[in-house]
Structure formats: C-alpha cells, structure tokens
C-alpha cells in the first residue's frame, strides 16, 4: 500500500524538480510521513538531495537523516554547511545523532558539536559502539524521584512536555541517581494523586548494562514486552533508555546476519548495493575456500574407489544425484534445527530427542526416496543390482545427512559457537565426501566387487 | 542472564514439588515474571502442571497460558474443570483468549464461553484467523469522541482505569464510530485541558483492514514505529487495536518460515519437538522429490559426456568439487539477495545493478578459486591441460552460479513468488547439472576431445 503512495509522491517530486518548482516539490515531500519522505528522498539524485535538504523544515530534515541508511546519511551530511547541519542534528533523536556524528570525519564532528545547542545530550552517547545498549539509548527526558507524589509527577511530565514516546515508562531514581523503580504513565494517571511514587512504583525493574550487546537488549525487551529498557552503568546509575521502536530494527539486523551466515557467507554489515565488490568477495572467500578444501576429499574418495568405478561405469551417473539429495535433506534438517535453537523450541539438553526425531524423519524420507531412485535407475537401463545399490545408498545417505543436520547445530550451540555456521553449504559439503564413501562401500558389497 | 534465573527457579520448584510442599512451590512460581513463570512451568511434568495451575492466582494462570506454545496451552486447558478454565480465560488478553478457545474442541469452547464474564469481549474475535490483523487485535478499552475536551478525555481514561498498555495511543471516532484520528496520552497530558480532541488529534491515522495478513500489520507498525495499530472493517469502523508487543512475535514467526523455506522445506507452523515425524517428512518430501528429479539431469549430462569421461578418467575426480563449489557460491549470493529484497535494500528495478554487482563478485571469487583449483589439480598429479580445464571451469561455474543466484530471487519477486523458493538446495541443484555441462564442454575444448 505505502509502496504505491511512495511511488506516486516520487513521480510528483521528480516532475516538479525537473520543472524547477522547488517549493512545490518541498510541499509534496512535507505532506508525507517520515519513512515515506526518506524513501522518496533516497531515490532522488545527489544534486537534488543537496538542494532540497537545507530548504526543508529542520524537523523533516532530521527525520530524513534518521531514516536514511547510515552511509547515505553521512555522505549527505558532509555536503551541508556546518551551521545548517548542526541545526538538523539538534532536532535528531540523540542516539541517531550520535550514530551520524560517529560516521563523520572527526573535524566535522567537532565543528558540528560546537555549533549545536543540545551537544551535551549527544556527547555522552558518542563513547558507545553503535551495536551496544549504550549506542541505542537516549537520555531520559523525564526522571522521577521516589519521594514525589503522583500529582507532582504528572505536573513534572507536563512541565517538561517531552516530545518523545519514551515517556510512557517513567523511571525512578533515589538521591544518588540509582535506578530503583519504574512506573507507567497509565499507573500515574490512575493512581491516587497524593500517593508517593515509591509506593506505587514497580521495584522489580529490568535493566541492561551500557556495554551489553544490542541483541541482549532486544531479547529482554521482546521477552518482557517492554516499552522502554533503562540502561545503567556498573553501579546501577540510570544513563538512558532504549525505546521500543529500536527492537524491530535490531531484530531485522540480526536476522539479516543469520540468513547471510546461513548461505555460507560472513555478514556484510551494510546495505547490499552500497557494499564494494571487493568487500562482498572478501566476506565470502573464507568459507568458499574452506568448503573447497573439505570438498577435495570427494576427489580422494573417488580415487580410492577408482577400480570399482572403472568396473561399473554406470555407478558414476548417480554420484551427483545421491550426494545432492543427501545435501538437500541435510540442509532441510539443519535449517529447522538452527531456527528451533534460535527461538528456544529446542535446547542442548534435547539433543537425544532431536536426534531420535530426525532419525525417524530420515528413515521415512529415505525410504520414499529409495523407491523413486530404484525406479529411476531401472528406467536408465542399469542392472537390478545397481538399482538396489543406488536405492540402499540413498536411504542410508538421507538418514546420515539428517542425523548430521540434527546433531551438528546442537553441538555448535553447546560449544557456544553460532549454530548458523552449520549452514546449507557446510552441510552439503560434509555430506558430499561422506555420502560418496557410503555409496561406493554399499555398491561394493551389493555388487560383490 | 534470565536463563540462569529460570534454571534456579526450576530446580527449586522441582525440589519443593518432590517434597510435596505445593504451597512453597507456588510461592516461588508467583515471585517470577510471567515469561519466566511460563518457562519454568513448561519444564514440569504434565501431572504437576495440572496440579499447580488451578491453585495459582488466576492472573498468573492466565499469564502462563498466554506464554505457553499454543498446543501446550490447549492441551493443559482441556484438563481443567470448565469453571476454573473460564475464570482464567476471563483474565487473559482477549486476542490470546480467542486463540486458545479456537484451539479447543467446539463443545469445550461453548461451555467455557457460557461460564465467562467477559465473553462478549472475546466472541467477536473468534471469527478471525490467528494470522490476520483481526486475530491479533484486542477490543479498544478506551475510545475517545472527537468532541471531548482534553480534560474530559483524561477523566475518561482515569474512570475506565485500563489495565493494558494499549492506552498510550487513544483512537478517536465520530458519531458513527468511524475512525477519524489518534491522540497519544502524552499529547493529552501536555495539551490545554479545554482543547477539543478533534483540534489536537492527528487525522492522518494509519490503520489496517481486519482481514489483512499479520505480516502487513507488523510491517506498518515497524515502518511507522507505532505503539498501537487500529484495525477497521471495510467501512472504517474501529474494531480493535493491535498492541506493539505483538510485532516481535510476528517478526519471529515470519523469520522462522523464511529460514525453513530457505533450507528447502515448507514451514512447519508448529514448535519442532511437538511436530509429528510424518508431518515433518510431509513438509520436506515435495521439495526433496522435485530437487531429485531436477538432479537426475546430472545423470543425463554425465551419460552425454560418457566418451569424454572414459578417455580422461581423472576428469571424474573433480566433478563433486566443481559443482559443489558452484552450489556454495550460488547459495552465498542467493541468501544475500533474498535478504536484501526482504528488507528493501534491493528492488525489482535494481535487477541490472545487482546482476552487474554479482558478476564482478563472481569474476573475482572465481579467479581466486581457479588459482587454488589449478594448484590442487597439479598436486593430484593430473596433466597441466586437465588442471587448466579445471581452473577455467571453476571460474566459469562460479560466475554462472553468482549470476543465477542474483537473478532468480529478483525474477521470483517480480512474479510475486516468495524469493525464498530459490533456496540453497534449489541453487545447488540447478548449478549441479548446468555446472557439469559447463565443465565437460570446457574440458573437451581444452583437451581437444
């Protein structure tokens, strides 16, 4: 739905820009929601982007810089005059402002910070890595003291008139600014106006350390359905809050990394089309080489069975079919188990249950594939004995692949290695050499070679 | 962190239950947060679960049934007396209550609804599929009228004293209950008490149709950072609200489906260990068979080049190595592109840019693999010409696999087919037969066979 809205707006903005009616183009842009604005903006040529941004409302410019991919935002920001950029950065969410400033050259960052009004909000955030809890937090706009009354607290909220949605969970501190509780705006409004905050607050407040990984923060927020997660230092002083809207971005980033690893490549960490060819190649070469070396064992196995192969040449025709099917079956298993581990359906202690489950799946699937393979072998005009060897081999290989696919991710998890290393490519490579060995051993026995 | 907390609590609860001190076990359970309670509860034997649940606080029981996997919750619920179950379901979030009732036998559902106090809240939700917007919504607890003042609205919120967090976004209706705007609790508190809602509300309210897919709802909520998404019928009447805490669950469910498809299997739709072996096999058989049939083309290619193979037997040793490397390289590409499509980094119109990008990655990676393969072939004692044929083939195959891996997901996307069908197994199978053909054609030319 919003796809077409963006497309229509983009056409209009482009037409107006080409007709040199910049003001009308700005009016169209300003009528959109921030994410749509950013989408339209991203599609414009760099020249138009530079022309438009300083002419937009500062708040809109801030929204656009927040929504653009990090590299694009940094590139665009560097082309703006320092004072215009400082005004825009002042309007950005402090955590986004810190991310942007961290991506600019040091001299530009220093110049912008000097021109900013709210530099003191952003400064403490610059020290944290983007992917830690500290890199995601914003300073709390409203902090309650445990001795306030509900009425005083509401007045305080009204006075600060916060413009962010982090205000729905209000965190409570003691005299030394230690985090001691949380009260929701809803509870405040519903409470007796004279009640003390310390009597209505929830003391069992879940927080995260400033240096924790962003994944841990997202995990806590989704597990406990938190609207805001307070970030504390090692002495439990409240430093900032991570807002609920960061969670989806973190989950998306982590899922992207998992899927790229799952395809047998290191995560790119950047939007695909803005990643240099050499960088993409570098992120893939390691795995590709390692798999290649593992795969060379297939050559050793084939050489080992060279005499078997030369006696019954038709055995060779089934090689890719058998090891391919084993690899596919193993990939199916491994993707199911990796995901089950990730979402907690399966844990290390379930290893024997999982193995038993997958063994039966392997026996069942293998039997069905054996029937199909037997018929296919006969229709290719091989002897019945070769067809039997092929059928028994495929059954055994599927069972073997499913067992490997079930056990390896759990063993990796147990060894605290990311289970996604047992990706589809790794599975099919492992099954290739071992599957060949199984095939020729069975063929030798059945054909009495 | 919460892992160890859960483990400790589980040990304590088990020990107390074995010592027959049920009350103490209940006290330990009740001291935990709802997600932790459910985790501990899930690990207990069915007998203990049945004993404990009716003795817990109704609110805690409701939380546990909400957090348990759907099937486990339904199984447990059926063992409870109808009146106890009705009390618990009354305490559940209406959307969760409707999910649970939908999983029970019709007679039980009817009996429970008859005993419930708030049945009218749940009844309209029973008509919607779990995975649509309607299946995720809860009825709005507080609805504002556009003619109210800010002060009246706050009084109204206080009077209803809602116990859910959906109250932070308050939706506004007109006389005919059409959705006309939204105002946040923050804006209400900050506004002039005498201001009319219709003057402070935001009229550009984003909503979703009741029959829309849950993925669309999650997409809107993450794109526009919504705390609550209003659900409307085709005449824009407000029916319910989807809360922010549903988003993470939907994203997790969709990512699970993607990853299972990516491994070349249909999604299971259920927690792994509670899925029957025959069901798992059924979800995998279709793809496995289809890939098997495609893979049989490798046999045809090998038969086609039988004379080449019999003249230079050493060519056979490199077959799994070459097609395996091609498959791995293609899997790497396809996982990157599928993910880039999913998060919007890449779109159909980028097809040529992506192709050009991947071609260069393929040329670079292929060249590096060619060098390694050439050396490996020589160390295996093949002739220089065979080594050259292997090196040129691997270069060509990697380039070909990367091109396929780049183009196929985008073409699928364009044809409105889920790009995850071009999974790792599909890629390696496609590359197997075509890679063999490339290899033998190049070998024939170089070796002049």
User: Closest Cα to residue B298, out of B280, B274, B316, B279?
Assistant: B316
Q: Do A324 and B264 touch (CB under 8 A)?
A: no
The pTM of the full predicted model, rounded to 2 decimals, is: 0.76
Average pLDDT for chain A = 88
Average pLDDT for chain B = 88
Q: Residue B404: what pLDDT? A: 94
Q: What is the pLDDT of residues A371-404, one digit of tens each?
A: 999 999 998 888 999 999 999 999 999 999 999 9
Q: Are residues A165 and A295 in the same domain?
A: no
* Residue A81 predicted with pLDDT over 80: yes
Among the candidates B250, B284, B299, a domain finishes at: B250
Residue A137 lies in a domain: no
- CATH at residue B367: 1.10.357.20
Q: Residue A127: what pLDDT? A: 84
Residue A157 lies in a domain: yes
What span, in angstroms and rounded, lies between the C-alpha atoms of A99 and B149? 40
| pLDDT interval class at A369 (50, 70, 90) | very high
Q: B432 contacts in A (CB within 8 Å)? A: 320, 324
What span, in angstroms and rounded, lies between the C-alpha atoms of A168 and A227? 7
Tokens of B351: 């097809």
Q: B339 contacts in A (CB within 8 Å)? A: 255-256, 259-260
**A262 lies within 8 A of chain B by CB:** yes
Considering only the beta carbons, identify the residue of A185, A335, A428 that sits closest to B262.
A335
Among the candidates A77, A101, A127, a domain finishes at: A127
Q: What is the pLDDT of residues A169-223, one digit of tens each?
A: 889 999 999 999 999 888 888 888 899 999 999 998 999 999 998 888 988 888 8
Strand-by-strand arrangement of the A238-243 sheet? A208-209, A228-232, A238-243
* Total domain count, chain A: 3
Q: What is the pLDDT of residues A313-339, one digit of tens each?
A: 788 889 999 999 999 999 999 988 988
Tokens of B220: 């809107």
> Percentage of chain A surpassing pLDDT 90?
34
- CATH at residue A195: 3.10.580.10
For residues A45-72, average pLDDT: 86
| pLDDT interval class at B160 (50, 70, 90) | confident
Q: Chains A and B: how many Cβ contacts under 8 Å?
A: 353
Measured in whole angstroms, how far is the alpha carbon of residue A1 from the centre of its chain?
A: 25
Q: Are residues B357 and B399 in the same domain?
A: yes
Q: Do A365 and B288 touch (CB under 8 A)?
A: yes
- Please tell me the distance in Å from B107's CA to the nearest CA on chain A: 30
**A247 lies within 8 A of chain B by CB:** yes
Distance from the first to the final alpha carbon of chain A: 65
Kindly state the helix (H) or strand (E) to which residue B169 belongs, with its residue range. Answer: strand B169-173
Q: Do A372 and B292 touch (CB under 8 A)?
A: yes
In the beta sheet, which residues pair with residue B241?
A: B138, B230
Q: Are residues B116 and B161 in the same domain?
A: no
Q: Do B291 and A365 touch (CB under 8 A)?
A: no
Residue of A nearest to B224 (CA): A35
Among the candidates B216, B250, B284, a domain finishes at: B250
Q: A339 contacts in B (CB within 8 Å)? A: 255-256, 259-260
**B262 lies within 8 A of chain A by CB:** yes
Q: Are residues A340 and A286 in the same domain?
A: yes
Q: Do A260 and B185 touch (CB under 8 A)?
A: no
Residue A371 lies in a domain: yes
Q: Give A309 or B111, the one with higher predicted confidence.
A: B111
Considering only the beta carbons, identify the residue of B256, B318, B425 that sits closest to A424.
B425
> Percentage of chain B surpassing pLDDT 90?
34
Q: What is the pLDDT of residues B354-394, one digit of tens each?
A: 999 999 999 999 999 999 999 999 988 889 999 999 999 99
Q: Beta A143-145 vs A169-173: how paired, if at all?
A: parallel
CB atoms within 10 A of CB B426: 24
DSSP string, A294-322: HHHHHHHHHHHTHHHHHH-THHHHTHHHH
Q: What is the interface pTM, i.e. ipTM, of the complex?
A: 0.75
Q: A266 contacts in B (CB within 8 Å)? A: none
Residue of A nearest to B249 (CA): A222
**B371 lies within 8 A of chain A by CB:** no
- CATH at residue A15: 1.25.60.10
Considering only the beta carbons, identify the residue of A292, A333, A424 that sits closest to B331.
A424
Residues 147-176 of A with CB under 8 A from B: 154, 157-158, 161-162, 165, 167-168
For residues B354 and B395, is the Cβ–Cβ distance under 8 A?
A: no
Considering only the beta carbons, identify the residue of A258, A324, A353 that sits closest to B295.
A324
Q: Are residues A243 and A159 in the same domain?
A: yes
CB atoms within 10 A of CB A107: 8
**Domain ranges, residue B227:** 143-250
Residues 382-411 of B with CB under 8 A from A: none
Residue A266 lies in a domain: no
Q: Are residues A157 and A122 in the same domain?
A: no
Q: Phi and psi of B149, rounded to 5°?
A: -95, 170
Residue A134 lies in a domain: no
Q: What is the pLDDT of residues B40-84, one digit of tens each?
A: 888 888 888 888 888 888 888 898 888 888 888 888 888 888 988
**A281 lies within 8 A of chain B by CB:** yes
DSSP string, A164-193: SGGGGEEEEE-TT-BEEEEEEHHHHHHS-T
3-state secondary structure of B193: coil
Tokens of B358: 């991947």
Tokens of B175: 């006389």
Considering only the beta carbons, identify the residue of B186, B263, B343 that sits closest to A335.
B263
Q: Are residues A342 and A239 in the same domain?
A: no
Q: Are residues A89 and A196 in the same domain?
A: no
What span, in angstroms and rounded, lies between the C-alpha atoms of A130 and A249? 12
For residues B366 and B394, is the Cβ–Cβ distance under 8 A?
A: yes
| pLDDT interval class at A1 (50, 70, 90) | very low
Residue B261 lies in a domain: no
For an interface test with A, give the residue of B243, B259, B297, B355 to mutate (most A CBs within 10 A).
B259
Residue of A nearest to B294 (CA): A321
Considering only the beta carbons, identify the residue of A33, A249, A260 that sits closest to B336.
A260
**A67 lies within 8 A of chain B by CB:** no
Lowest mean pLDDT among A135-139, A260-264, B372-376, B393-397: A260-264
Q: Are residues A441 and A299 in the same domain?
A: yes
* Residue A3 predicted with pLDDT over 60: no
What span, in angstroms and rounded, lies between the C-alpha atoms of A245 and B358? 33
Q: Beta B169-173 vs A238-243: how paired, if at all?
A: unpaired
DSSP string, B42-82: HHS-HHHHHHHGGGS-HHHHHHHHHHS-HHHHHHHHHTS-H
Q: Do B225 and A245 touch (CB under 8 A)?
A: yes
Residue A259 lies in a domain: no
Considering only the beta carbons, identify the residue of B190, B220, B365 that sits closest to A285.
B365
Q: Are residues A10 and A43 in the same domain?
A: yes
Q: Are residues B390 and B306 in the same domain?
A: yes
Q: Residue A179: what pLDDT? A: 95
In the beta sheet, which residues pair with residue A39?
A: none
Residue B255 lies in a domain: no
Q: Are residues B87 and B154 in the same domain?
A: no
């Amino acid at each position: 739905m919003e796809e077409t809205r963006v497309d229509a707006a983009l056409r209009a903005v482009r037409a107006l820009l080409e007709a040199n009616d910049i003001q009308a183009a700005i009016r169209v842009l300003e009528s959109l929601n921030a994410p749509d604005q950013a989408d339209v903006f991203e599609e414009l040529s760099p020249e138009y982007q530079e022309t438009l941004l300083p002419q937009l409302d500062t708040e809109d410019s801030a929204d656009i810089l927040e929504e653009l991919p990090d590299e694009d935002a940094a590139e665009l920001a560097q082309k703006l005059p320092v004072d215009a950029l400082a005004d825009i950065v002042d309007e950005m969410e402090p955590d986004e402002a810190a991310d942007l400033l961290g991506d600019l050259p040091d001299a530009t960052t220093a110049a912008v910070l000097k021109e900013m009004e709210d530099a003191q909000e952003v400064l403490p955030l610059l020290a944290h890595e983007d992917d830690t809890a500290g890199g995601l937090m914003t300073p709390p706009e409203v902090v309650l003291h445990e001795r306030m009354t509900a009425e005083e607290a509401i007045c305080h909220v009204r006075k600060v008139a916060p413009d962010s949605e982090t205000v729905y969970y209000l965190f409570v501190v003691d005299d030394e600014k230690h985090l001691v509780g949380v009260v929701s705006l809803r509870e405040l409004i519903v409470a007796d106006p004279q009640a003390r905050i310390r009597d209505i607050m929830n003391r069992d407040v879940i927080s995260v350390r400033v240096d924790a990984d962003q994944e841990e923060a997202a995990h806590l927020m989704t597990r406990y359905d938190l609207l805001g997660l307070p970030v504390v230092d090692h002495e439990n002083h409240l430093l900032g809050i991570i807002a609920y809207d960061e969670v989806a971005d973190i989950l998306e980033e982590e899922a992207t990394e998992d899927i790229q690893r799952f395809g047998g490549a290191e995560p790119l960490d950047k939007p695909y089309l803005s990643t240099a060819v050499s960088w993409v190649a570098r992120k893939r070469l390691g795995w590709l080489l390692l798999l290649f070396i593992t795969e060379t064992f297939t050559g050793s196995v084939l050489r080992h069975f060279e005499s078997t192969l030369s006696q019954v040449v038709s055995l060779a025709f089934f090689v890719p079919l058998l090891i391919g099917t084993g690899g596919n079956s193993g990939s199916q298993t491994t993707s199911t188990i990796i995901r089950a581990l990730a979402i907690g359906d399966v844990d290390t202690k379930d290893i024997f249950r999982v193995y038993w489950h997958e063994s039966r799946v392997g026996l069942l699937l293998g039997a069905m594939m054996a029937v199909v393979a037997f018929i296919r072998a006969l229709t290719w005009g091989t002897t019945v004995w070769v067809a039997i060897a092929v059928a028994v081999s495929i059954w055994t290989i599927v069972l073997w692949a499913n067992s490997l696919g079930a056990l390896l991710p759990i063993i990796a998890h147990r060894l605290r290695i990311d289970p996604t290393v047992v990706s589809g490519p790794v599975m099919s490579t492992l099954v290739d050499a071992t599957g060949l060995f199984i095939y020729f051993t069975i063929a030798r026995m059945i054909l009495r070679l």
